[in-house]
Amino acid sequence: MGNKKKAVTIHDLAQELKVSPSTVSRALNDHASIGKQTKKAVRKLAKERGYRPNTIASSLRTNRSNTFGIMVSWINRPFISSLISGIEEAARESGNRVIISQSHDITELEMENLQVLYDSRISALIVSLAMETTDYSHFELFTKNGIPVVFVDRFPTIHNIHKVHINNFSAAFEATEHLIQQGCRRIAHFGGERHQSIYEDRRSGYIAALKKNNLEVDKSIIIQANLLSAEEGMRLTKQLLDIDNPPDGIFCANDTTAVSVIRCAKSRGIKIPEELAVIGFNNDPICEIIDPPLSSIHHPAIEMGMAAVKQALAILAGDTSTGPVSSVTLDTHVVIRASSDRLGTERSEDGFRGVLPESKVKDSAPQTK
């Protein structure tokens, strides 16, 4: 183990076959102007000697690294890890590698790590913004140097960008209307940083649904969180449930806080969904696990990752059919479970209902280790 014998190069093959390195290179790349015999001989020897192309050298010469960079907040979050899984798969299928980097939701770290990605001369960058980030100038390093940047999920509030996203407004609208249909009349909202458009849009969709249904918009039950973490969720829910006129429904901007709401409510003996109907966002695996199962918005993480790669590839191929920028919107849908199902139509015994989109998610992301 650990021998440091040098790897085989095309020069080694060339020497042995008494041809030039150019010929070897072309033979391996199936260039038209190389004879059949030669190609066969080269490939045979390459295999025998265990030749493997040096991607680094190739990248330097061709100026194409065939590598995508990913910048996300935290790798170990259900939505993000599925997103990455989708990116990895689509990238691999198109012959690209994937370098990964996390910002820990801190803008400064995002900036630092972007430098590293740039130094790696990635072919394209796929980003989901750090929660903190409000200034986007650090992405110009890429755009100004001709490296496509595709934003996924959390994207900047500026116009000239490529992005893959969902319609957060309408998803939130549907979620809220669902609660209203279930009889809720005083619906609270758990929202994230408003400078992140996805959270602002979810908030707007929620408010629009209330207004459309002639329900009061009470800002005292619109909760503002920073990171939408479990701890925040627990702490803020306690406050919310302590007020004189507590809500009878709540729409949370993510599942993590929704779970905290359920746990807090349960500990107080508040019946879900009868006294408090809850719906989250993302359709994380925990939705099916918690008792009662949590209604949510299905957020197509893997598909979003794949779409981002597809979009990056199109840009690299010079596809300008969508104009200077492109925006892909993926579909979401409400997944109704017991936490919001006051009419009792969706209940089951063991909680295993063959809901189509969910089994689909499971197929591509089994919760095994």
Partner DNA sequence: AATAACAATGCAATCGATTGCGCTTTGCAG
Partner DNA sequence: CTGCAAAGCGCAATCGATTGCATTGTTATT
- Applying CB under 7 A, the residues found at the interface with DNA are 6-7, 9-11, 18-23, 25-26, 28-29, 33-38, 51, 53-54, 57-58, 60-63
The least distance separating DNA from the CB of residue 152, rounded to whole angstroms, comes to: 29
Identify what 34 binds: its own copies, DNA, none; CB under 5 to 8 Å per kind.
DNA
Identify what 190 binds: its own copies, DNA, none; CB under 5 to 8 Å per kind.
none
Identify what 231 binds: its own copies, DNA, none; CB under 5 to 8 Å per kind.
its own copies
Q: Is 99 in the site for its own copies (CB under 8 A)?
A: yes
Site for its own copies in 295-334 (CB under 8 A): 301-302, 315, 324-325
Which DSSP letter does residue 293 get?
A: P
Site for its own copies in 62-91 (CB under 8 A): 65, 67, 73-82, 84-85, 88-89
Identify what 25 binds: DNA, its own copies, none; CB under 5 to 8 Å per kind.
DNA
| 89 contacts: CB under 8 Å, gap ≥ 6 | 302, 305, 306
- For the record, the structure tokens of 51 come out as 């030749």
Of 19, 111, 215, 227, which one interacts with its own copies (CB under 8 A)? Answer: 227
Q: Is 360 in the site for its own copies (CB under 8 A)?
A: no
Q: Is 267 in the site for its own copies (CB under 8 A)?
A: yes
Identify which of residues 10 and 302 has a Cβ nearer to DNA in the complex: 10
- For the record, the structure tokens of 84 come out as 């990455």
Of 22, 55, 220, 329, which one interacts with its own copies (CB under 8 A)? Answer: 55
Identify what 22 binds: DNA, its own copies, none; CB under 5 to 8 Å per kind.
DNA
Q: How far apart (Å, rounded) are the C-alpha atoms in residues 69 and 87?
A: 10
Q: Output the 3-class SS for 168-205.
A: HHHHHHHHHHHHHHCCCCCEEEEECCCCCHHHHHHHHH
Burial of 359 (0-12, 13-18, 19+ CB in 10 A): exposed
Q: How far apart (Å, rounded) are the C-alpha atoms in residues 33 and 351?
A: 63
Q: Is 115 in the site for its own copies (CB under 8 A)?
A: yes
Identify which of residues 39 and 298 has a Cβ nearer to DNA in the complex: 39
Q: Is 271 in the site for its own copies (CB under 8 A)?
A: no
Which DSSP letter does residue 110 get?
A: H
Identify what 263 binds: its own copies, DNA, none; CB under 5 to 8 Å per kind.
its own copies
- Dihedral pair phi/psi, residue 151, rounded to 5°: -90, 140
